[in-house]
Amino acid sequence: MAGQKQELPVSGEPLAAVESPMTDATNKKKKKSKKNKHAEVQVPQEVVEELSSKEKKKKRKREEKEMEKEKEEKKKKAEPEASNGGESEQKVVVTGKGAEEAKYAALTSFAESKLPENVLDCCKTFQKPSPIQSHSWPFLLDGRDLIGIAKTGSGKTLAFGIPAIMHMLKKNKSGKGTRNPTCLVLSPTRELAVQISDVLSEAGEPCGLKSICVYGGSSKRPQIDAIRSGVDIVIGTPGRLRDLIESNVLRLSDVSFVVLDEADRMLDMGFEEPVRFILSKTNKVRQMVMFSATWPIDVHKLAQEFMDPNPVKIVIGSEDLAANHDVMQIVEVIDDRARDQRLIALLEKYHKSQKNRVLVFALYKIEAERLERFLQQRGWKAVSIHGNKAQSERTRSLSLFKEGSCPLLVATDVAARGLDIPDVEVVINYSFPLTTEDYVHRIGRTGRAGKKGVAHTFFTQQNKGLAGELVNVLREAGQVVPTDLTKFGTHVKKKESKLYGAHFKEIAADAPKATKITFADSDDEN
Nearer to ligand AMP, 241 or 259 (CB): 259
Query: Which H or E element spans position 425?
Result: strand 424-429
Q: Please spell the DSSP secondary structure of 152-164, one letter per residue.
A: TTSSHHHHHHHHH
Nearer to ligand AMP, 316 or 428 (CB): 316
Nearer to ligand AMP, 137 or 306 (CB): 137
| 126, 277, 350, 374: which one binds ligand AMP (CB under 6 A) | 126
Question: Is 130 one of the binding residues for ligand AMP (CB under 6 A)?
Answer: yes
Question: Is 155 one of the binding residues for ligand AMP (CB under 6 A)?
Answer: yes
Q: Please spell the DSSP secondary structure of 249-280, one letter per residue.
A: S---TT--EEEETTHHHHHHTT-HHHHHHHHH
Candidates 125-133, 225-233, 241-249, 435-443: pick the segment binding ligand AMP (CB under 6 A).
125-133
Q: How far is the CB of 127 from ligand AMP (least distance, A)?
A: 6
Question: Is 206 one of the binding residues for ligand AMP (CB under 6 A)?
Answer: no
CA 58 to chain centre: 49
Question: Is 158 one of the binding residues for ligand AMP (CB under 6 A)?
Answer: yes
Question: Is 156 one of the binding residues for ligand AMP (CB under 6 A)?
Answer: yes
Q: How far is the CB of 137 from ligand AMP (least distance, A)?
A: 11
Nearer to ligand AMP, 192 or 279 (CB): 192
Candidates 129-137, 175-183, 320-328, 426-434: pick the segment binding ligand AMP (CB under 6 A).
129-137
Do 257 and 513 contact (CB within 8 A), yes or no? no
Nearer to ligand AMP, 98 or 153 (CB): 153
Nearer to ligand AMP, 222 or 422 (CB): 422
| 113, 157, 412, 429: which one binds ligand AMP (CB under 6 A) | 157
| Helix ranges, 444-499 (H) | 467-476, 483-486
Distance between CA atoms of 502 and 466, rounded to whole angstroms? Answer: 12
CA atoms within 13 A on the CB side of 254: 17
Question: Is 84 one of the binding residues for ligand AMP (CB under 6 A)?
Answer: yes
Q: What is the dihedral of CA 426, 430, 434, 437, to 10 degrees?
A: 10
| 16, 87, 129, 454: which one binds ligand AMP (CB under 6 A) | 129
Do 245 and 184 contact (CB within 8 A), yes or no? no
Q: What are phi and psi of 409, to 5 degrees?
A: -125, 130
Do 391 and 218 contact (CB within 8 A), yes or no? yes
Do 261 and 197 contact (CB within 8 A), yes or no? no
Nearer to ligand AMP, 161 or 407 (CB): 161
Question: Is 14 one of the binding residues for ligand AMP (CB under 6 A)?
Answer: no
Angle at 402 between CA 399 and CA 407, to 5 degrees: 105
Reduced to 3 states (helix: H, G, I; strand: E, B; else coil), residue 441 is: helix
Question: Is 136 one of the binding residues for ligand AMP (CB under 6 A)?
Answer: no
How many residues are there in the chain? 526
Contact characters 286-305, ligand AMP, x per CB under 6 A: --------------------
| 19, 22, 83, 393: which one binds ligand AMP (CB under 6 A) | 83
C-alpha distance from residue 154 to each of 84, 233, 299, 317, 380 (Å): 7, 22, 20, 10, 34
Nearer to ligand AMP, 115 or 474 (CB): 115
How many chain residues touch ligand AMP (CB under 6 A)? 14
Question: Is 120 one of the binding residues for ligand AMP (CB under 6 A)?
Answer: no
Do 228 and 249 contact (CB within 8 A), yes or no? yes
Question: Is 447 one of the binding residues for ligand AMP (CB under 6 A)?
Answer: no
Nearer to ligand AMP, 131 or 274 (CB): 131
Q: Looking only at residues 409 through 428 of this chain, which bind ligand AMP when binding is defined by CB under 6 A?
A: 420
| 113, 154, 294, 329: which one binds ligand AMP (CB under 6 A) | 154
Q: How far is the CB of 436 from ligand AMP (least distance, A)?
A: 23
Torsion sign over Cα 187, 469, 510, 320: positive
Closest Cα to residue 389, out of 373, 365, 423? 365
Footprint of ligand AMP (CB under 6 A): 83-84, 126, 129-130, 133, 152-158, 420
